[in-house]
Structure 1
Amino acid sequence: MYIPSKEEIIHGCREFEFHEKRDSMYNVSIFLLDHFWGNPEDMADGLGVLLLTWNQAFYRYGQLDYDLLERFLESNMSVIESFRQRKISTLSNDDETLIKKLFNELREALKIESQKGTRRSPVGVAKALHLLCPNFFPIWDKKIAVAYKCNYEMDPAEKYLQFCKINKELCEEIQKYDINSNKTLLKIIDEYNYSKYTKGWI
């Protein structure tokens, strides 16, 4: 696995901040989830702020079903809460079944009905999980997943689990750089990945 240098990470984050103006929606979503934590209805609204912005290419084909998302949050609140209190450094084999279950259930909750039938977004799932548990769950998109050999065309939950394990290793190395930032390590890694693999800015 390639470990980017401190200079590469910082360069990627700077390019992200320069080009990516939608990151304000990330901050708004994080704020709303913090403020409304424990209220599934309002938490669903907070997640929708980011999903309808960052994942607009998916949701232009169908509506986000807030009722489904709210029910997912209600039924999984205790599990989500437990992951929210943890860092990805604590990821263990004991978490694997639960992570895949969460991923698959949220994938159903975020599905849309379009003219071409039911569509599901592994990208939206990762973004929502990260917002709910920003120190534990990483973010990906198709290009990032492929770059890390986690192409999710088949068994996306298993591929996401692999991606979590990779991010655990990345965080263990990148935390040694002591980067001066108020962002989580997973957000820093995502900004680097987005700049490098998604956009090719670096």
Structure 2
Amino acid sequence: MLAEEMITPEILKKCSEEFRNEEGRAYFYDIAVEIADKYPLQAAIIVLATWNTGRFRFMMSDPKNLMDLKEALDKCRPLFEQLKKERFQTANFDEIGEIVKQIYSILSKVKGVEYTGASKLMHLFCPNLFVMWDGFIRRKYRVGKSPEDFLKFQKLMQDRFGKIKWDEPRTLPKVIDEYNYVKFTLPRLRKQRLKKRGKA
């Protein structure tokens, strides 16, 4: 099992600050959130192009992939609407689980979105509800990539962070993602960069 540290609002704030100092891409998220309601496709592309770059290049290889993304977002729109009032701290993920899995299933099948990208788009359109993940974070929490795994991850995050009192402008799910990124993703990325420099 993952060793758990005692999480406090102060720890989350510190990790959030480190995240924004480390990641120049952080501000693209803010832009995407601002335009998500009015321009969902454009907002999705901003998020995928900056935070899912490894898979996004495959989307650009064929115009059909962009149309698939648009169709997937159109299918998901009424499902997202059903979840708009849900909040991470109070959501009953058992009750909304089928909707969550349905959205994830639709989005993750789009080439260039897939598993990490699906979580990021779900957060983009329900930023008060969903915590994002990536491959490093999945491995750390020992979850897979299926719709059931995504739902399990949300429950894990709620169990670990849901009791934290949070009244900052940035949503709790976003700051949890920044915590996970700083604690688990960033160290692995730094190791990869050092390895590449050693080979250069």
Instruction: Sort the TM-score into its range (normalised by shorter chain).
Output: 0.7 to 0.9
SS in 2 for 1:140: coil
Aligned-partner Cα distance in 1 for 2:42–2:182: 28
1:30 has 2:33 as partner = yes
Aligned-partner Cα distance in 1 for 2:172–2:23: 18
Aligned-partner Cα distance in 2 for 1:53–1:13: 18
1:8 has 2:1 as partner = no
Amino acid in structure 2 at the alignment position of 1:161: L
Amino acid in structure 2 at the alignment position of 1:142: G
Aligned-partner Cα distance in 2 for 1:54–1:76: 20
Give the structure 2 partner of residue 105 of structure 1.
106
Give the structure 1 partner of residue 81 of structure 2.
81
Question: Quick check: 1:142–1:151 contact (8 Å CA) kept in 2?
Answer: no
TM-score between both structures, scaled by the size of structure 1: 0.81
Question: Quick check: 1:13–1:192 contact (8 Å CA) kept in 2?
Answer: yes
Q: Deviation per CA, 1:120-161: give whole Å up to 9, x if none.
A: 620000000000100111100011111112132xxx211111
Structure 1 residue 59, shift from structure 2 partner: 1.8
1:199 has 2:148 as partner = no
Moved more, 91-100 or 191-200: 91-100
Tell me which of 130, 137, 150 is aligned to 1:160: 150
Aligned-partner Cα distance in 1 for 2:125–2:59: 23
- CA RMSD of superposed structures (Å): 2.0
1:71 has 2:64 as partner = no
Aligned-partner Cα distance in 2 for 1:104–1:47: 16
Structure 2 runs not aligned, ≥5 long? 191-200
Q: Deviation per CA, 1:23-79: give whole Å up to 9, x if none.
A: 111001001113x0xxxxx31111101111111121224427222122222223221
SS in 2 for 1:193: helix
1:50 has 2:47 as partner = yes
1:170 has 2:157 as partner = no
Question: Quick check: 2:93–2:151 contact (8 Å CA) kept in 1?
Answer: no
Question: Quick check: 2:133–2:177 contact (8 Å CA) kept in 1?
Answer: yes
Aligned length: 181
Amino acid in structure 2 at the alignment position of 1:100: K
TM-score between both structures, scaled by the size of structure 2: 0.82
* Percent identity of paired positions between Structure 1 and Structure 2: 25
Q: Deviation per CA, 1:106-131: give whole Å up to 9, x if none.
A: 112x314xxxxxxx620000000000
Amino acid in structure 2 at the alignment position of 1:158: E
Structure 1 residue 170, shift from structure 2 partner: 3.0
Give the structure 1 partner of residue 195 of structure 2.
none
Tell me which of 5, 21, 24 is aligned to 2:24: 21
Structure 1 runs not aligned, ≥5 long? 37-41, 113-119
SS in 2 for 1:57: helix
Question: Quick check: 1:103–1:157 contact (8 Å CA) kept in 2?
Answer: yes
Aligned-partner Cα distance in 1 for 2:93–2:119: 18
Question: Quick check: 2:104–2:147 contact (8 Å CA) kept in 1?
Answer: yes
Aligned-partner Cα distance in 2 for 1:162–1:137: 12
